[in-house]
Structure 1
Amino acid sequence: MIRLAGGAFTMGEESFYPEERPLRRVKVDPFWIDPTPVTNRQFAAFVADTNYKTFAETPPNPKDYPGLDPEMAHAGSLVFRKPVGPVGLNDWTQWWQFCVGASWRHPQGADSSLEGLDDHPVVHVTHQDAKAYAEWAGKTLPTEAEWEFAARGGHDDGRAYQWGAELAPEGRMLANYWQGAFPVENTAEDGWETSSPVRSFPANDYGLYDMIGNVWEWTHDWYVQPKAVEKKKGSACCAVSNPRGGAKGDSYDPHAPGMKIARRVTKGGSHLCAENYCRRYRPAARQGQPIDSSTSHIGFRCVVRGARTD
């Protein structure tokens, strides 16, 4: 793990998506963080030691999902499938398919395997799966503030990307994201159509890899709209120390009132983020993900707060 000294920084972004606003000053204490997302090799060691079974490997209980189509009552997960022709960008079901048998062991569907993927980030893990691994490893999941502080690599100058103002400076591919017109054309200029082995792209200035692109990463925080930091009367400092996000009851999706599944913050974007869709391959970008979601593009990394004991 890499130790970060902590400090104050400006969280959020004003130029992209409304959920990233407003800009606010926050401060985080020192912490240790994994240099890469947790890999299939690492997750396999956890499973071998504990016999843990992930959410995607467990058939859903119909009692937990009233009205569930019996055809969907099987163990499985969401896998990205490239459409055969042009589709609208407002219907994610055109490129996401629930695949029976898909799991961290079978990332592209029941007939796929982990052959050659030991050093790729583990995917098809829910928030609880990530938390279970973290607890086994003597770690925890980062808060959104800790994650964003780490992703910025020590830069607090308003740059959009961890390396500067341009996504691909001088045409260089510095992260695993989608090149071309999502979701039908991927030119793979970065060398990868799906996930890539960790450390395939340059680390940021903290020595951390894949903080941008490759896979989304779970954080500890419930997903709520950020609030402006109120400056205390007579105080020159208005940074909030170690924010922990909002409340679970405020994290439900208001656009899906019938789906009462709480959401946690995911950060970093993935190999499916493109310039024409989901430009969330930035430190400030954030997304609310239902806690029971497992997909082929969500993973995680861990932190330890305070002094390490190992």
Structure 2
Amino acid sequence: MGAAGLARPSAGIVRGQRPLLRTGGAATLLLAGWLLGACAPDAPSAPIANVPTPEGMVYVPGGTTRIGAEDGTADERPVFLAEVTPFFMDVHPVTVAEFRAFVEATGHVTEAERLGDAGVYDPGNGGWRLVPGAHWRRPMGPEAPKPPDDHPVTQVSWNDAVAYAAWAGKRLPTEIEWEHAARNARNARHPYAWGEALVEDGRHRANTWQGPFPGGNTGEDGYLFTSPVGAFGATELGLTDMGGNVWEWTADWFRPYAERERPYTPGGASERVQRGGSFLCHVSYCHGYRVSARSRSTPDTALFHVGFRLVRDVQPRSG
């Protein structure tokens, strides 16, 4: 599959109802609506007194955020305003070591392990394939190296992420919460969570694809696949890996924004939203590390470039 195939929303190989890749198409420039241009966002909320931030998390103030991008792909429009209450968010995606602790404590068996294979992209032939024996311990297959402990865990389905969240006493973020945090809780309109450019003063700000796609990743940012969490610095809020490295599962079913307030009954082919882009993304065909970019897969899908991070509700202390 070439770059054109990757740009189609239905691209990727499928086993039953398990699509292995979902990406947006090329950006289409549109003028922002007058109403959104005229509506100023609310100021972020102040930290809640006497509520400590949990270890490994960041306090994300509430506020009003414009979700989406008029110059983005079709599934990022129409832009709309969303009110967000404060929450805590993991500094980085869940790591291999953290997921191992969960498995050792609970005996959890991931869906990729139960099914016997998982999705791996082969840049040599430009296609996705189900690799027997691929799972979170060996994301690229049983013959490939183990992932380092400080890299994001991958080959975890949405259902696996939810199971981990229940064990950790947290939850997956909504996609509105994720974008609000990526916009630094103040409706920042930069294309990326850290600012305007992928490379600043000669420094790469995210783990993405460099060079021609599909077979020419030069690894100029130092990594061909996943990278250690936090390797590319933090955002204004103190979050890392909010663009590139791995796509991240969110709580929401994927729907066009125009239908977001309509009743919805998910079916067997319904998909959950992913945010943040990955090391496979490039501006020419995906550009998924923009703060407004969306991807999606069915809840049982496991892929070698998808992980997750969690959030926790702010519970004010009584008295």
Q: What is the Cα deviation at residue 245 of structure 1?
A: 9.6
Q: What is the Cα deviation at residue 16 of structure 1?
A: 2.1
Matching residue of 2:121? 80
Is the CA contact 1:11–1:25 (under 8 Å) kept in the aligned structure 2?
Answer: yes
**1: CA distance between counterparts of 2:195 and 2:237?**
15
Unaligned runs of 5+ in 2: 1-56
**1: CA distance between counterparts of 2:187 and 2:257?**
19
Q: What is the Cα deviation at residue 306 of structure 1?
A: 2.2
Matching residue of 1:234? none
Amino acid at match of 1:83: G
Q: 1:55 aligns with which of 99, 102, 111?
A: 111
Matching residue of 1:213? 244
Q: What is the Cα deviation at residue 170 of structure 1?
A: 4.1
Is the CA contact 1:126–1:291 (under 8 Å) kept in the aligned structure 2?
Answer: yes
Matching residue of 2:94? 38
Aligned residues: 261
Q: What is the Cα deviation at residue 187 of structure 1?
A: 1.2
CA 1:307–1:188 in structure 2 vs 1: closer, same or farther (change >3 Å)? Answer: same
Q: What is the Cα deviation at residue 151 of structure 1?
A: 1.2
1:247 has 2:264 as partner: yes
Q: 1:131 aligns with which of 150, 153, 162?
A: 162
1:107 has 2:157 as partner: no
Q: What is the Cα deviation at residue 25 of structure 1?
A: 0.8
Unaligned runs of 5+ in 1: 60-74, 85-93, 229-242, 253-259
Amino acid at match of 1:275: V
Matching residue of 1:179? 210
Is the CA contact 1:181–1:276 (under 8 Å) kept in the aligned structure 2?
Answer: no
**1: CA distance between counterparts of 2:284 and 2:204?**
17
**2: CA distance between counterparts of 1:244 and 1:138?**
29
Per-residue CA deviation, residues 176-227 of structure 1 (Å, 9 max, x unaligned), is 0101112111111110000001010110001000010000000000000002
Is the CA contact 1:221–1:244 (under 8 Å) kept in the aligned structure 2?
Answer: no
**Aligned 1:1-310 pairs, distance under 5 A:** 1-59=57-115, 75-84=116-125, 94-114=126-146, 117-227=148-258, 247-249=264-266, 260-307=268-315
Identity %: 43
CA 1:245–1:204 in structure 2 vs 1: closer, same or farther (change >3 Å)? Answer: farther
Q: What is the Cα deviation at residue 168 of structure 1?
A: 2.3
Per-residue CA deviation, residues 71-123 of structure 1 (Å, 9 max, x unaligned), is xxxx1101121125xxxxxxxxx4212100000011110123425x1000000
Per-residue CA deviation, residues 259-300 of structure 1 (Å, 9 max, x unaligned), is x42200000000000121111111110112111110000000
2:177 is paired with a residue whose SS is helix
**2: CA distance between counterparts of 1:112 and 1:106?**
7
Per-residue CA deviation, residues 123-175 of structure 1 (Å, 9 max, x unaligned), is 00110000000000001100001111111223424221123333323443100
State the TM-score, normalized to the length of structure 2. 0.77
